[in-house]
Amino acid sequence: MDAKSRNYLLMNRQALERDIKTSYIMDRMISDEILTLQEEEKVKQQNTQKERAAMLINIILEKDNNSYRSFYNALLHEGYRDLAALLQDGIPAISSGNGKSSMDGMTSYVKTILCEGGVPQRPVVFVTRPKLVDAIKQKLCCLGNDPGWVTVYGMAGCGKTVLTAEALRDHQLLEDYFPGGVHWISVGKQDKAGLLIKLQNLCSRLEHDSTLSQRPPLNIEEAKDRLRLLMLRKYPRSLLILDDIWDSWVLKAFDNQCQVLITSRDRSVTDAVAGNKYEVHVESGLAHEKGLEILSLFVNMKISELPEQANCLVRECKGSPLVISLIGALLRDFPSRWEYYLKQLQNKQFKRIRKSSSYDYEALDEAMSISVEQLNDNYKDYYKDLSILPKDVKVPTKVLCILWDMETEEVEDILQEFVNKSLLFCDRNGKSFHYYLHDLQLDFLTEKNRNQLQELHKNIVNQYKKHYKLNTPVPSQEDCMYWYNFLAYHMAGANMQKELCDLMFSLDWIKAKTELVGPAHLIHEYVEYSSILDQKDSTVRENFQEFLSLNGHLLGRQPFPDIVQLGLCQPETSEVYQQAKLHAQRERGAFYLEWINKKSLKNLYRLVVRPHRDAVYHACFSKDRQRIASCGADKTLQVFKTESGERLLEINAHDDEILCCTFSADGEFVATCSADKKVKIWNSRTGQCKCVYEEHSEQVNCCQFNNGSGQYLLATCSNDTYIKLWDLNREYCRNTMIGHENSVNHCRFSPNDEYVASCSTDGTVKLWETRSANELKSIEIKDFFKNADEQPDDVEVLVKCCSWSRNGDMILVVAKNKLLLFDVKSCGLLTQVIISHHSTIQYCDFCPSDELVAVALSHCSVELWNIKSLSKVAYCRGHMSWIHCVTFSPDGSLFLTSSDDQTIRIWETKKVCKSSDAVLKSELDVVFHNGEVMILAIYNQKHLQLINGNTDSVVTQTAAQESPISCCCLSEDLKFAAFGQENGTIKVLQVLDGKVLKSRETYRTSVQHCRFTSDCQTLISSAHDPVIQVWNWQLSECVFLRGHKEAIKDFRLLENSKLLSWSFDGTVKVWNITTGNTEKDFACHGGAVLSCAVSPDGSKFSSTSADKTAKIWSFESSSVLHELKGHEACVRCCTFSPNNKLLATGDDKGEIRIWDVSTGALVHFCSPVTVDEGEPTHGGWVTDLSFSPDSKMLVSSGGYLKWWNVTTGESLQTFYTNGTNLKSIHVSPNFKVYVTVDNLGILYVLQKL
């Protein structure tokens, strides 16, 4: 052994002797032919674990380099990763000329690579099929260094897996072509949730020696990205083997420009992926000679010595390696029963499961039945227990230890008996064994034990409960993932309604499971097992399903949100809320918030999904309402279930943003169109591309299928000014409609498919005959925008969208902020509605009932209008950004919206129409008075409301004002309120009756801020100009504070009639408000001053600026004490701690810094965590900060609210508001009540529990 390797062993000897158990390590070293049986015996004779370990190390030290490598690999695979890490640097280099081992022709290099990659070991009895093995090797060599796919395909049970594993036992192949190693993953028949589990396990395996242990990926896209990076950076030139692929969509998750070998029954499975492709066909049956060879190896006889029945047996086995192995294993135990087993097979005495074109099940049934019959009675029962294993899942030994209540060694002995008889398969995975049945064997078992399955499921659940009692498995346990993924499956199989409800309605279980695998699998289980969960009442299941459906987009992100806090935001009648409240009360020292005014907020949507990684431009329902297709800026087409959001298809469909997608009337196809100028047609079930149309010369904005079945027609329109009609049975465009003078934005078939309507940037809507493609009518929409308000030269009217009424008599058109309804026959305007003065309409859709119209607006909301009464019936808020599309389901009961915020929301039409549309502006004032929270808020632009935050009741509301209200304030004694308006007027009113006491037309621009002095007699205000007005409204006297050169940013009152103001001109001034004179003038920053704070002792103030700095100033010396550098964006807010020792500053990057006031040193950096997709901790700017009275806690507002431990700089809690962009946070003096408003106009009064 190399001196270096010896030294590493000796150096770490103590740690090794203390920790290792020798039995499994010796097993592995014996299989590597490093250790002899005599040496193993020598070790076993020692009395204690430590002495056995010491003896083993002494033996290794006397051997060569191979023994060091074998010992290192054994440590790694038996779970001693930390010990293996100690020896890693001492591993001797592997020379290419490694001697071959005498037994199997494998070098230790090959053994190491295959063992680390999880490649299955050879079966108990193995015969070579050199022709096929060489064919697989040859195709692998063909890949060269290029990404690509090798498919080994053939019928079930034909030996694909064994042959593939054998091809990899080649030193030269691995060294020359795959020096990065091989990584084997058994896939099988999977749904999305199952595939995610497989990907999580693979990523975890590949990251095993990473210094950074990452959480498992929470969705398939994230797993795909993680895998791509691992293969690119950590394992370049390695081979990924995907064993037993059933569906082409599965391969999309591995389509990462790497080299992949797959085994499958379906040779066309790689049609859906790109890259070089090679195939190897494995014949369904073994050659007769090979069948005899397997039998001869099992019974340890030469072929020539086999009895005459051997030939007949091989024929009866139809050449299947699986069936011959089953029979061979029986004959090894009962060598005299050749005639008996042959008769059993020939007489076909055993029940068939089913016929299949891909496999002759009959022979398998018979072989399986014979094999099972030969087991002793105890073992038969154990084997029967395996009937309930999920398909294509490798089960850790620990699960079966729990099932049978046995020690690991006992269980492994029983299972080895099944492995020896080819009744079970075994894989070594890290420190333990994993077991699985061939799916044909599982089919056999479930059919045979059909009447006992419920009892068997019940047994495994009871054993789980007995083992774990009231605890849940933790991620470090090898059986953890099995229970999280399949415990509900076993409970449902056992029809254990109470236990299933207890599990699925437990916040602890939901928290643990969603943290591990995300929410989609749970939502799927609520839908899947609803018939059991709803036996008494569906309400609780609906509560939990809704909770996950509406918060799933949060639960799929990092850092993982506090599920108890999310639960506390549910309605108080919800079981989720009640459990969350109990949790919060139980956890001592934890920080939780009660949303005390949430009663007024109803959740109007039933599902929120985040299928895309960028803006979602379009989404639509299938005709049966069961599926939704969506597309967007990430260039993908997604298809998912309407009920649960479970993804069915993901296609990287285009080379540029996808602007529109549409289902065909029968749901068979989905069409997409893109900025890459192409139109593509996809099979909506398999994701295969049917055809690509490339006749448009500019980006294609919209695509729409006809409404009737029988013939597939598609209309598309483009920036090239043309509308094109396509017949899916033809290769080229059927008709081109020419007539628009500018980009065509939208097109739609009439309900009877006789006409196509198109909308254009040229200001017209045109109607075309479908059959002839002739222009029928043209409506000049721009004519309806020529009025006194709009100058004749500003008449460019971009017509965005149109929608037909159900009978095709009317067409709805949207442009700018107007809805226009036209009669199709006469082209006459029937009615028009101005929807909004503040935003434009992005999209519209007619509800199939014909009375309702949904309108998507640019300010993140959707409105529903009754087109007959011309009244707004609903206002829907929830999206955080621009909405691109709104579409009704075919029956009108649902509608969906898609947005720049990457989400799609599904709404219930009836629910929405019953809701109110109260919206508050983000400017509000709060007074905490005798335990009451009184809030003055601007309601629906023109009203002022006084709200009691404790009871969520409106105390008073003013009449509508003539101009929108822009700011407001409340006197501390709650007697007076004041507000400023956009037309520059300021008014003071009496709170009790809302009567206006004084009014003053003060400014030419919108009033920005107003505040009462402590005696309530004077009102100070500022607007978008450099002057502050001090108005004694009771005496009608006014003092003007002039001195700033640019607009005032804000001001605050100091003691003794002093006022501090700061401005966009970079200066801060101190004023005497009685005389109007400047007392101090500070030239603070090169950029705008964005905020100031005054220290509690009144000696200092801080300023923050757009120049990315903050400063601390002395009032007395008028000098800067500290310049605080380090922020990488505008510093937007600041606040001193009550003990005068700390200053907190927040910036536009979402980062918070806490500084020592006396030294200017940075104490804490509070926002190091970033969440998914690169969003900062705050989802944007930090807009406001406030310390607790003891200076130990800090609350910040931004994209949401966050509480921090000032001592450690760690986050204590996050409260996710429905909207975002919180401008300020008002905090009660005892730091227990917090008030804010989000950009959706929702008010939050939060109380610390």
3 state DSSP class of 650 = strand
Q: With beta carbons less than 8 A apart as the criterion, state whether 188 and 439 touch.
A: yes
Residue 100 pLDDT? 42
- With vertex at residue 791, the alpha carbon angle to CA 785 and CA 796, rounded to the nearest 5 degrees, is 55
Q: How many angstroms separate the CA atoms of 277 and 713, rounded? A: 34
Is the model's pLDDT at 359 over the cut of 50?
no
Contacts of 1117 (CB under 8 A, 6+ apart): none
* Per-residue pLDDT band at 1175 (split at 50, 70, 90): very low
Residue 556 pLDDT? 62
- For tokens 């037909």, the residue is 804
Per-residue model confidence as pLDDT tens digits over 139-164? 999 888 888 999 998 766 678 888 99
Tokens of 1141: 């020792």
Tokens of 1131: 């510093």
Q: Exposed, middle or buried by CB within 10 Å (0-12, 13-18, 19+), for 536? A: exposed
Per-residue model confidence as pLDDT tens digits over 849-892? 768 999 998 777 888 998 888 888 888 877 877 899 999 999 99
Per-residue model confidence as pLDDT tens digits over 284-309? 567 788 888 888 888 888 888 899 88
DSSP 8-state class, residue 649: E
In three-state form (DSSP H/G/I as H, E/B as E, the rest C), the secondary structure along 1120-1164 is EEEEECCCCCCEEEEEECCCCCEEEEEECCCCEEEEECCCCCEEE
Tokens of 913: 């129409």
In angstroms, the first-to-last Cα distance of the chain is 65
Is the model's pLDDT at 322 over the cut of 80?
no
Tokens of 492: 């449902």
Q: Exposed, middle or buried by CB within 10 Å (0-12, 13-18, 19+), for 89? A: exposed
Is the model's pLDDT at 516 over the cut of 90?
no
Q: With beta carbons less than 8 A apart as the criterion, state whether 513 and 480 touch.
A: no
Alpha helices in 150-191 (DSSP H): 160-167, 171-177
Tokens of 765: 């809507």
Per-residue model confidence as pLDDT tens digits over 386-420? 999 998 788 999 999 999 999 999 999 999 888 87
Share of the chain above pLDDT 70, in %: 92
Q: How many angstroms separate the CA atoms of 1047 and 1006, rounded? A: 12
Q: What is the largest CA-CA distance in the chain?
A: 123
Q: How many angstroms separate the CA atoms of 1090 and 1221, rounded? A: 17
Tell me how far CA of residue 995 lies from CA of 976, 992, 999, in angstroms. Answer: 10, 8, 11
Beta strands in 900-1047 (DSSP E): 904-908, 920-929, 932-939, 943-948, 953-957, 965-970, 976-981, 985-990, 996-1001, 1007-1012, 1018-1023, 1028-1032, 1037-1041
Per-residue model confidence as pLDDT tens digits over 64-117? 888 888 888 788 777 777 788 788 778 876 544 444 443 456 778 888 888 788
Q: How many angstroms separate the CA atoms of 727 and 771, rounded? A: 12
Give the pairing type, strands 148-153 and 276-281. parallel
In 3D space, the residue among 94, 95, 19, 84 whose CA is nearest the CA of residue 53 turns out to be 19
Is the model's pLDDT at 357 over the cut of 70?
no
Is the model's pLDDT at 59 over the cut of 90?
yes
In 3D space, the residue among 975, 974, 1048 whose CA is nearest the CA of residue 1010 turns out to be 1048
Share of the chain above pLDDT 90, in %: 47
Is the model's pLDDT at 701 over the cut of 70?
yes
Mean pLDDT value of segment 1208-1231 = 90
| Alpha-carbon dihedral sign for residues 237, 238, 239, 242 | negative
Q: How many angstroms separate the CA atoms of 1105 and 1089, rounded? A: 4
Comparing 326 with 352, the larger pLDDT belongs to 326
Is the model's pLDDT at 1174 over the cut of 60?
no
Residue 1218 pLDDT? 81
Per-residue model confidence as pLDDT tens digits over 986-1022? 999 999 888 999 999 988 899 999 999 999 999 999 9
In 3D space, the residue among 504, 502, 501, 582 whose CA is nearest the CA of residue 535 turns out to be 501
Is the model's pLDDT at 171 over the cut of 50?
yes
Residue 439 pLDDT? 67
Average pLDDT score over the chain: 86
Mean pLDDT value of segment 470-478 = 84
Question: ω before 147 within 30° of 0 (cis)?
Answer: no
CA 127 to chain CA centroid, nearest Å? 46
Is the model's pLDDT at 624 over the cut of 60?
yes
Per-residue model confidence as pLDDT tens digits over 726-758? 999 888 899 999 999 999 999 999 999 999 999
> Has this prediction a pTM greater than 0.75?
no
Is the model's pLDDT at 898 over the cut of 50?
yes
3 state DSSP class of 1053 = strand
Residue 112 pLDDT? 82
982 C-beta neighbours (distance < 10 Å), count: 17
3 state DSSP class of 325 = helix
In 3D space, the residue among 532, 535, 550 whose CA is nearest the CA of residue 492 turns out to be 532
- For tokens 């335990």, the residue is 931
